Amino acid sequence: MRLISHWIAGSPTRGKSSRTSPVYDPATGRQTAEVGLAEPADVDEAVAAAVAAFPTWRETPVTRRQRILFRFRDLVTAHADELARLVSAEHGKTVGDAAGEVTRGLEVVEFACGIPHLLKGDYSEQVSTAIDTYTLRQPLGVVAGITPFNFPLMVPMWMYPIAIAAGNTFVLKPSEKDPSTSLRVAELWAEAGLPDGVFNVVQGDKPAVDRLLEHPDVRAVSFVGSTPVARSIYATGCAHGKRVQALGGAKNHMIVLPDADLELAADSAVSAAYGSAGERCMAISVVVAVGSAGDRLVPMIAERMRNLDVGPGDRAKDMGPLITREHRDRVAGYVDRGVEEGAELVVDGRGLTIDGFEEGFFFGPTLFDRVTPEMTIYRDEIFGPVLSVVRADTYDEAIELVNRNPWGNGTAVFTNDGGAARKFQHEIEVGMVGINVPIPVPLGFYSFGGWKDSIFGGHAIYGPAGVDFYTRPKVVISRWPDPVHRGVDLGFPRHG
Ligand code: NAD
């Protein structure tokens, strides 16, 4: 069985641990490889490589770092199709969807190519007599990223381009479920001319993460994954004195008002609920239909679901399998629970099999109507192709429902009324808001971050917030006076 290794100090490394985890092709259900699971000593080796690389990388002129970023950007672009196929082979999403993931990751690389501009500080001349003051942004040192299975290329790319461009060195711990893409990325970094040890990959699970969180040489940790893990990573990382950003799970609502373009709303609900088989933190999992919208919208959604092309990621147009058999069974369990608790099952995706791929982890698109907030399918993040429709009598009731939800990652309103849209953007307690846009993932030059239980720590990820996260500010007050001595003054320094 092929062993997927770590990448430390510029080379693939088998590591000391004998623990491994299976990697599957979710379309066939067959194991394709095993991945080494790092033990603490493997993590120490990766961090030591990053520590060793830091002084030289930090001193490398920012324009030279920028040129490496440009070369990396060109290499990712040239290998975009290969990377998309690699993502699809281990994750299961369609190759077209994976190509979108590559493009969205590249946006952050392209943003980081502007690092000379992004690292510029402020300068104020003559704040006092012969005194100037200015700010610098300096790298932190070794920083770590811990990432989820659902975007094995894009989510790590939310982190390392900016971290590395800013002069840090990086240790990535990708998901053990789809680990190969990160190794291919490491090869592309090397080809781009990145010095050994600046970008390292340790494969693994909890023991590797725990070691990164407690390692004294790791200065900052970016985490993206489920809410319970995010909460604990944030607590542990902070307890060890690290700067931590931990992005968690979601339950994203899309409110549809009766005046909306319902054809657009139905198209958007289906695209946003079932794309990537619902395994997106920005997937729409709840449609809140206000007033008369529900009776018209639900049949329109169901009608569109009939035409979805579900199959292996390299053939199907719309939707591939789920990540593992266990996850597929968990999603099926939620659908059983929804029926037991009284939701109206409009389209049932249980038991879907694809000819020739009977062992694949497929689950069909599923639609529930008349879901209520007490039901398990409303309360939990299912992370599968299951869309719930909740009926609300009024717009205020719909907004209140979203604001009461413990998560606050993304949300959308569909309406043709500008005032209603403005009320939504003003009142809604969610970090990323779409107006007639179902998946409002910010562009690379903005920053991504939810509210409430969708994020722990004050920093959103990538964009300007990413530059803040991966640098520390220094403020300098400098005097180059005329050579006139003004005498001793023990009072607190005042300027002016
Ligand atoms: P997960 O929390 O199970 O795993 C995320 C990472 O943490 C992986 O690298 C995993 O190896 C590691 N991990 C898992 N359990 C751990 C533990 N007990 N201690 C330490 N490390 C642990 O998440 P997942 O299943 O890979 O990804 C899906 C989840 O990620 C969903 O909840 C989804 O909403 C969320 N997600 C959020 C965002 C966002 O931007 N907010 C983006 C993508 C995914």
Residue nearest to atom 12 of ligand 1 (CA): 205
Give the Cα separation of 475 and 136 in Å (integer): 6
- List, by residue number, the catalytic residues: 281
196-238 per-position pLDDT tens digit: 999 999 999 999 999 999 999 999 999 999 999 999 999 999 9
Predicted local confidence at residue 482, as pLDDT = 77
**Distance of CA 210 from the midpoint of ligand 1 (Å):** 14
164 alpha-carbon distance from chain centroid: 18
**Distance of CA 324 from the midpoint of ligand 1 (Å):** 14
Ligand 1 within 6 A of CB of 35:
no
Predicted local confidence at residue 496, as pLDDT = 63
DSSP string, 307-356: T--BS-TTT-SSB---S-HHHHHHHHHHHHHHHHTT-EEEE--TT---TT
Predicted local confidence at residue 428, as pLDDT = 98
> For the chain, which residues make up each domain, given as ranges?
3-248+454-477, 252-435
Pocket test for ligand 1, best of 209, 251, 383, 455 (most atoms within 8 A of CB): 209
> Given the CA of residue 225, which atom of ligand 1 is nearest to it?
30
236-267 per-position pLDDT tens digit: 999 999 999 999 999 999 999 999 999 999 99
**Distance of CA 162 from the midpoint of ligand 1 (Å):** 21
CATH number of 3-248+454-477: 3.40.605.10
Ligand 1 within 6 A of CB of 206:
yes
Bridge-partner residues for 456, per DSSP? 246
Residue entry with tokens 């946006």: 107
Q: Considering only CA atoms, which of 200, 139, 150 is closest in space to residue 173?
A: 200
116-171 per-position pLDDT tens digit: 999 999 999 999 988 999 999 999 999 999 999 999 999 999 999 999 999 999 99
**Distance of CA 197 from the midpoint of ligand 1 (Å):** 25
What superfamily in CATH does domain 252-435 come from?
Aldehyde Dehydrogenase; Chain A, domain 2 (3.40.309.10)
Residues 6+ apart with CB under 8 A from 128: 495, 496
Ligand 1 within 6 A of CB of 447:
no
Ligand 1 within 6 A of CB of 322:
no
In the chain, the N- to C-terminal Cα span, in Å, equals 72
27-65 per-position pLDDT tens digit: 999 999 999 999 999 999 999 999 999 999 999 999 999
Query: Looking at the chain, how many residues does it have?
Result: 496
